């Protein structure tokens, strides 16, 4: 009986997460502008944490496992917030955004891309912990590929 309760609570929690991440439509221009601002701010944070790691992968910066671990952890945390900001449909308002309308009609694909982004960040952390600089290149490549995939599909 205890396992049934745990299973039921797990299903309820999963349902709440799905509902929390479901695409919503901005109800006013003010809300749409705020959604765009938050999206852009989130991606500035992604950029500020990913850029040093891309620099290390290219050899432009010295390999630093501490920076990799810290920044990868931050990227994992940012991934957890992405759906909240990406899935606010702002297409009904005249807001300055580079988001393609397709972003708001492909929720399952967006969620899959976010999951791959987080998985790539976790891979970077594991590579850093291993101390093997060779494994880092593959891990950062996965992150870059995830970024590119989303940009190709959902950014003007």
Known binding-site residue numbers for heme c = 147, 150-151
Binding residues: 147, 150-151
Q: Which residues of 80-95 are buried (b: 16+ CB within 10 A; e: fewer)?
A: eebbebbbbbbbebeb
The H-or-E segment that residue 155 falls in is none
CB neighbour list of residue 55: distance below 8 Å, 6 or more residues apart: 61
**How does strand 24-25 pair with strand 88-89?**
parallel
Its sign, for the CA torsion 111, 116, 120, 126, is: positive
Residue with tokens 């439509």: 25
Distance (Å, rounded) from C-alpha 82 to C-alpha 111? 9
C-beta of residue 69 within 8 angstroms of C-beta of residue 131? no
């Amino acid at each position: 009986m205890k396992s049934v309760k745990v299973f039921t609570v797990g299903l309820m929690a999963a349902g709440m997460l799905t509902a929390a991440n479901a695409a919503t439509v901005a109800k006013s221009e003010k809300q749409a502008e705020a959604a765009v601002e938050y999206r852009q701010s989130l991606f500035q944070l992604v950029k500020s944490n990913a850029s040093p790691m891309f620099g290390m992968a290219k050899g432009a910066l010295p390999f630093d496992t501490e920076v990799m671990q810290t920044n990868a952890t931050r990227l994992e945390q940012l991934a957890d917030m992405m759906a909240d900001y990406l899935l606010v449909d702002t297409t009904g308002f005249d807001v300055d955004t580079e988001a393609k309308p397709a972003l708001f009609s492909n929720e399952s694909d967006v969620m899959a891309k976010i999951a791959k982004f987080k998985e790539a960040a976790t891979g970077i952390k594991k590579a850093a912990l291993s101390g093997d600089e060779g494994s880092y290149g593959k891990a950062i490549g996965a992150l870059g590929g995830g970024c590119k995939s989303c940009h190709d599909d959902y950014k003007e």
